[in-house]
Structures are given as C-alpha cells and as structure tokens.
Amino acid sequence: MCKENIIKTRDFGEIIIKEEYIIKFVNGMYGFEDYKDYVLLMDEPEDEVMFLQSLNDMNLSFILIDPYVVFNDYNPILNEEELEELKVKGEAELKYLAIAIINENIKDSVVNLKSPIAINPKLKIAKQVILQNSYPLRCGIISSVEGKKC
C-alpha cells in the first residue's frame, strides 16, 4: 500500500514519493501520448505553481497553475465519454489544473484554459481535456489576475 519509490526529477533532483501519489493519465498529454505516469510537485505547500513531473522521462515536466486564480468563474464542461474515462458522474468531482508557458518577459506568460488537466483526486487518474467551453487557449496570466482581459 505505502510503497515508496525514488524518482529523478527535472527541477527537484532525486526525491522519494509514495506510490499512492502517482497520477495515471488516460491517453497521456496531447503530443506526449506515450508518457502516462506523473506526480504533482511543488516548492512549498499551498503554492500557486505546481510541477507535473513525468515518471517516464525525468526531463519532462510541465508547470501548472490553478485556473481559478486566473479566472474566478471557471466552469469546465466535459462530455459523457470524458467523465466516464475519469470514472466520475459530474464535473464537480474533478480537480482542474491549467498548463502554463512561463515567458522570459513574465507579462507574456500564458495559461491554457481551453485544455486543462482534469484529475479524479480519489482514484488518481487524469486526462487532458479539450473543453466545449469557449475559453482561450492562451490567456495572459498577469493581465488576467490584474482583472484585465486575457
């Protein structure tokens, strides 16, 4: 049950993680379909920025942020098939994280609200979903949190 694994990471060196923290991706991420196992890492608890570290390739890691920080009324709509794959009855049972591109000029950093990662926190299964909602694929992080448009 509580098996521990030592993993190599891109940003945190070698770390020990409990097996129960491993998140299995249905179909992987778009463009990275072969990589299915990830862990969520952060510098400190309650941090706004998270790392989605691949367990299949230590050099593969994505930066994620809570989409609600950028957009309060974020309300993802998934289709029946996606809900079934994630083994939930409705969207409210899922946790959502958005992938970010951090630019050297931080004002140009963007987050993808159109295709977030939906996680079933109980079963630790996840899927990158392309939402029916007409959310922007590139939403400026700083301009949005400052209350301006994406």
Which range in 19-27, 40-48, 75-83, 89-97 contacts another protein by CB under 8 A?
Answer: 40-48
CB of 83 to another protein, least distance (A): 19
The CA angle 55-60-63, to the nearest 5 degrees, is: 105
Convert 92-121 to b/e letters by CB count within 10 Å (16 or more is b). eebebbbbbeeeeeeeebbbbbbbbbbbbe
CB of 128 to another protein, least distance (A): 7
Please, is 35 exposed, middle or buried when counting C-beta atoms within 10 Å of its C-beta (0-12, 13-18, 19+)? middle
Build a one-symbol-per-residue string for 48-67: x at contacts with another protein by CB under 8 A, - elsewhere: xx----------xxxx-x--
List of residues contacting another protein (CB under 8 A)? 10, 29-32, 43, 47-49, 60-63, 65, 69, 99-104, 106, 109, 112, 114-115, 128, 130, 137-138, 141-142, 145-146
